[in-house]
Structure 1
Amino acid sequence: MSNFLGEFDCKLDAKGRMMIPSGLRKQLPEAEREGLVINRGFEKHLVIYTRKEWDLIIADLAKLNQYEKRTREFIRYFTRGATELTLDAAGRILLPKALLEYAGIGNDLVLACQLNKIEVWDSKVYDLQMDSEPENFANLAEEVMGGMGRRADG
């Protein structure tokens, strides 16, 4: 499993292509060979996975009981719009217009690395999201991570 690090400001060109920033590209050595997959996020953003990570997710989905209606709905919505991305010779990827419209992404966007995936946000939406940080982040950390038994200084 890959773990990505960083936030990157990017721009789309007139054809909807985005240059992968060099700092991120170094973290994606297999992307040129295996490709990437972009999909809808749970909020109004997009998510990029390495092909290897996407295959692991699909394998997990295949284990679910597809005789259950809620499972079928989840799989259908989760995989809706999933598209393979390939880097061109200049290190650009073409982001699907339908997915950009779904997420309300304009020409200025942010790539926010989140563990094993890269979130793609419209810059203004991302800034608003990050500006709404909980008043007491320590309480949120305790609520989410308190039972993990790990030690973190912060």
Structure 2
Amino acid sequence: MIQLIGEFDCKLDAKGRLMVPSNLKKQLPSVEQDGLVVNRGFEKHLVIYPKKVYQDIVAELSKLNQYEKKTRDFIRFFTRGATELSLDASGRVLLPKSLLEFAGINADVVLACQFDKIEVWDKAAYDDLLDNEPDNFANLAEEVMGNKNRREEDGR
């Protein structure tokens, strides 16, 4: 399983191309052969997945009951705008204009690695998000992770 690490400040060029930082590219050894997929995030940002990771997610989605409206809606919204990316000879990827507009991304971006994906944020939006860190991060950690063992025992 891929474990991406790091946070990278980057700039898009006038055509919407993103130079993948070398330290990030080293963590994605098969990216040039396999490619990437970019998609909308749950908030106003984009998410870049290694293609294999995205294929695994789609495989999970295909197992859901598509006779349920909620499921169909979720699949539509989750996959909306998904686009394959490939690195050009200079190590850049072209981000689709429609996705950049959705996320309100201009020239300055932050790439924030989380496990097996890369969140792409407009720098100002990302800074605003992190400026609103909870007053007591320890309380949030306890709420999210504190009952982890109990949830596992209960089968949740």
Q: Which SS does the other structure have where 1:128 is aligned? A: helix
CA distance in 1, matches of 2:46, 2:136: 28
- What's the counterpart of residue 20 of structure 2? 20
- What's the counterpart of residue 48 of structure 2? 48
Q: Which SS does the other structure have where 2:110 is aligned? A: strand
Q: Percentage identity across aligned positions?
A: 69
- What's the counterpart of residue 6 of structure 2? 6
Task: Flag as ranges the 4+ runs of structure 1 deviating above 3 A.
Answer: none
CA distance in 1, matches of 2:92, 2:65: 38
CA distance in 2, matches of 1:127, 1:41: 17
CA distance in 1, matches of 2:16, 2:41: 19
- What's the counterpart of residue 124 of structure 2? 124
Task: Mark the runs of 5 or more structure 1 residues left unpaired by the alignment.
Answer: 150-154
TM-score, normalization by structure 2: 0.94
- What's the counterpart of residue 110 of structure 1? 110
CA distance in 1, matches of 2:131, 2:115: 21
Q: Which SS does the other structure have where 1:3 is aligned? A: coil
Cα displacement (A) at 1:148: 2.3
Pairing 1:1-154 to 2, within 5 Å after superposition:
1-149=1-149
Cα displacement (A) at 1:44: 0.2
Q: Which SS does the other structure have where 2:127 is aligned? A: helix
CA distance in 2, matches of 1:19, 1:30: 17
1:35-54 deviation per Cα after TM superposition (whole angstroms, max 9, x unaligned): 00000000000000001100
